[in-house]
Amino acid sequence: MLEALLYPESIAVIGASKSPGKVGYAVLDNLIKAGFKGPLIPVNPTADEVLGLPCYKDVRDAGVKVDHSIIVVPNKAVLAAVEASVAAGAKAVTVITAGFKEVGAEGAAMEREVAEYCRKRGVRMLGPNCLGLLNTENSMNASFAAQFPKPGSISVLSQSGALCTAILDWSEGRGVGLAKLLSIGNKADLCETDLLECLADDDQTRVIVAYLESIASGPEFIKVAEAVSAKKPVVVLKAGTTAAGGKAASSHTGSLAGADIAYGAAFKRAGVVRAENFEALFDYAQAFATQPLPKGDRIVVITNAGGPGIMAADAVETLGMKMEPLSPEVAEHVKKNLAAAASVANPVDVLGDAPPEKYAMALEAVLADPKTDGVVVILTPQAMSDPDATADAIIKAASACDKPVLACFMGGSNVLGARAKFVAGGVPDYTSPERAVAAMKAMVGYSAWRNRPPRIVTRFPVNRHRVERVLARQARSNRKEMGEVEAKEILKAYDFNVLPGGLARTAEEAVAIAERAGYPVAMKIVSPDILHKSDMGGVKLNLSKPSEVMDAFDLMMLRISRKAPGALLRGVYVEKMGKPGREVILGMHRDPQFGPMLMFGLGGIFVEVMKDVSFYLAPLTKSEAMEMLKQTRSYALLRGARGQAGVDLDVIAGALQRISQLVTDFPQIEEMDINPFIVGEAGNLPVVADARMIISGVE
C-alpha cells in the first residue's frame, strides 16, 4: 500500500529553487544529499538547471514517468501542480506548501478542491502544510528538514512538523535510527489511519510512534489502530488533553465524560500504548523496537547501587507490576557467585565494585528463571565500574534470550561510551530507574492486550419495533428530552425490568393504577419541563392506600402548577414501590469523536460528589462490562463490604451490555441515564427506577 508515497521510482520537486534558504531548494538538496537512487526531476518555469539537475518548466516535459511529486509552489498554484503531476503519472503527491485550511475559509476551499481532485483520480496526497516525509530504507529525504536519520525500526507520524525536526535532531544526537517519518500536516487526504495501515505492513517498521492533536474519524481510528496493534505496537502522544470537552452536556454521563476520557477509552480498546509526555514516547518506542515482549509482569531489578535499586522497586510497585523474589535455586546460584555482602533479594545488588562478569552471571541466571518476565539492569559508575564492558555483557545476555532487558546507566561522562554501545547493540538505556521501569510497564500492558481474550459481543433478543415507535412519537413531539415514561417504555423493549405502573391524568386514574400495580406505590410528576422532580416536590413515596394516592395526586398538580406556572403537566406516574437495594447509575454519552461511551457508577453522591465512575466505548463485551464495575473505587461495596451483602454483578454487567446494544441500534439516542438502577443480591430482579434520554435530531 502507498508504494508510490514511500517507495517511488522517481520524484519530481515542483517549485524546486536555486536559492539556498528557500524550501524548494532545501527539498531537492535533501533528496540529493540523502542519496535517493531514482530520477529526481526539478520543476521551475524560471530555471534550466537546479543543483546540477536539468530543470523543467512543466513536469510533463521531463519525459520521465513521475511516481511522486513533492510540491512547494505557492498555495494558489498547488492545484495546477497536482494536475500536472497526475498527468505525468504521479500516484502520490506531498504538498508541503502552507496557507490552506489553517489560515481560514478561502484556504480550506482550496484544500478541499485539491483533495477532491486527487480522490477522483485515485492519487494519494500527504499534507498540505507539512514538513514532508523521510524513508531510510530507500534513502529518501523528501522534506525540508536537513537531518537524515540512520536506518532503524521506529517509524514516526506527526501532526506537528516542528516536532518532526526535534525528533530528527534527537535521533541524530542519540544515534537512534528511524524507519519512516511522515509529517501529516492538514490531513486533507491521507490521515493517521491510512498511514498506520501502511506502516503496519512495512517490514522495516517494528514500532509506530505518533504525535496527534486530533483524529479524523474516531470509529475508523479504533478499527484500524486495533488491527495495526495486533501486528505491532502503536505508541501515541495525544496533545490537548486538558482542553474542555467539545460540547455542553445535559446528562450526568455527559458532564462527567471529557474528551480525554474518550481518547483514553479508544486507545484502550485499540491496544494503543499511550505516552504521557514527549520523553515517554521515545522511551517506550526504543523498548518496543528492540526487545521481545514480556509474558507477564514479574520484574527483577539488578543493580550495583542500593539507592537506585530502591527507586526502581518503588516504580515497579507504583505502576502495578510485581517485584517477586527469585526462585530459590536461582537465588542460591547468584548468591554463591557474588561477594558476601551482595543481596539476592529483588533488587539483586551485585555491589558497587561488580565487574562485568558479575553482571553477566546475575543477568543470565535471572533471565533463565521461570519466575522472571523482564529485567531492569542499573549501573552507577563507581571507581571499579567498567561501564563499557558491562554494557557489552548486558547486550550479549539480552540478545540470547526472549525476555526484555532494559538498562539504566546513570550519570553522564563516564557512561557515554556505554550508551552508544546500547544503541548499537539494541538494548534500550535510560537515564533514570523510573524511566526504565515506565518503559517496561508499557511493554507489559501491550503484551497483556495482545493476549486478551477474544471480544465477543452478545446480541440479546429485543423488541426493536417498539423502540422505533416510541422514538417516532418523540420526534413528532419535537422535544429532545425524553421523560421517564417513554424512556422506560424503550428500556422495557430491551428487556429491562420496570415496575408495574402507568401515567395517571386524574386522581381516579391514579388510584386505579395503584390498585392494579399493588400497594405501596410511588408517584412522580410527569412533565417535559421539569427535570429535577424531587426538587419541585414532584415525588411521593410509600403511599399505601387509595386516599393517600388521591391526596398526593391533587396536591402535586396544585402545588407544582403554582411553583412552575408555565410547565406542561402531563399527569403523575404511579408505580409499585420496588424492593430496596443498591442504587447504581448506568449511562451513555455519545462522544463526538468516538461515539457511544457507556458509564457506570454507584448512584447518588458516588457519582455526583466522588465522581467515581468508569467509562467504556460501546459495543461492550461481558468481560468489559465486568471490568467497568471493577474500575470504580466503590466496587468493594458492590461485592459486599463489612456487614453488607454484595449485589448481583452479572445483572449490572448484563444491563450495560443491553444499553450498549440499544445505543448501537439507535444512533438517535444521544445521551441516557438510568438513575437509579436498583439491584439486589444475586437472584433478585433488578429494576429501572428512573430513566431519561436525550434524542438527537429534534430541538
Reduced to 3 states, what is the DSSP secondary structure of residue 303? Answer: strand
Q: How far apart are CA 89 and CA 65, in angstroms?
A: 6
φ and ψ of 343, to 5 deg: -115, 135
Q: How far apart are CA 114 and CA 197, in angstroms?
A: 23
Q: How far apart are CA 206 and CA 529, in angstroms?
A: 57
What does R_g of the chain's alpha carbons equal in angstroms?
32
Q: Residue 376's beta-bridge partner residues? A: 301, 406
Q: Which is nearer to a second copy, 59 or 178 (CB)?
A: 178
Reduced to 3 states, what is the DSSP secondary structure of residue 97? Answer: coil
Taking the complex as a whole, the smallest distance from the CB of residue 482 to a second copy amounts, in Å, to 22
Q: Which is nearer to a second copy, 412 or 580 (CB)?
A: 412
Taking the complex as a whole, the smallest distance from the CB of residue 414 to a second copy amounts, in Å, to 5
Q: Which three cell numbers stand for residue 165?
A: 525536526
CA separation, residue 314 to residues 224, 326, 433 (Å):
36, 18, 10
Compute the C-alpha angle 14/16/18, nearest 5°. Answer: 165
Q: Which is nearer to a second copy, 115 or 438 (CB)?
A: 438
Taking the complex as a whole, the smallest distance from the CB of residue 322 to a second copy amounts, in Å, to 12
- Contact between residue 20 and residue 14 where contact means Cβ atoms under 8 Å apart: no
One-letter amino acid for residue 460 of the chain = F
Judged by phi (left if over 0) then psi (alpha if -120 to 50, else beta), residue 544 lies in alpha
Taking the complex as a whole, the smallest distance from the CB of residue 316 to a second copy amounts, in Å, to 9
Q: Which is nearer to a second copy, 423 or 504 (CB)?
A: 423
SS (H, E, C) 308-352: HHHHHHHHHHHCCCECCCCCHHHHHHHHHCCCCCCECCCCEECCC
One-letter amino acid for residue 593 of the chain = Q
Q: Which is nearer to a second copy, 85 or 346 (CB)?
A: 346
Q: How far apart are CA 410 and CA 434, in angstroms?
A: 11
Taking the complex as a whole, the smallest distance from the CB of residue 170 to a second copy amounts, in Å, to 4
Give the full edge-to-edge strand order of the sheet including 501-504.
Answer: 501-504, 571-576, 521-526, 539-543
Taking the complex as a whole, the smallest distance from the CB of residue 86 to a second copy amounts, in Å, to 28
Inter-helix orientation angle 328-336/356-368, to 10°? 170
Q: Which three cell numbers stand for residue 181?
A: 517519518
Q: Which is nearer to a second copy, 328 or 640 (CB)?
A: 640
Q: Which is nearer to a second copy, 98 or 395 (CB)?
A: 98
Q: Which is nearer to a second copy, 180 or 435 (CB)?
A: 435
Reduced to 3 states, what is the DSSP secondary structure of residue 406? Answer: strand
Taking the complex as a whole, the smallest distance from the CB of residue 618 to a second copy amounts, in Å, to 27
Q: Which is nearer to a second copy, 133 or 367 (CB)?
A: 133
Q: Which is nearer to a second copy, 103 or 457 (CB)?
A: 103
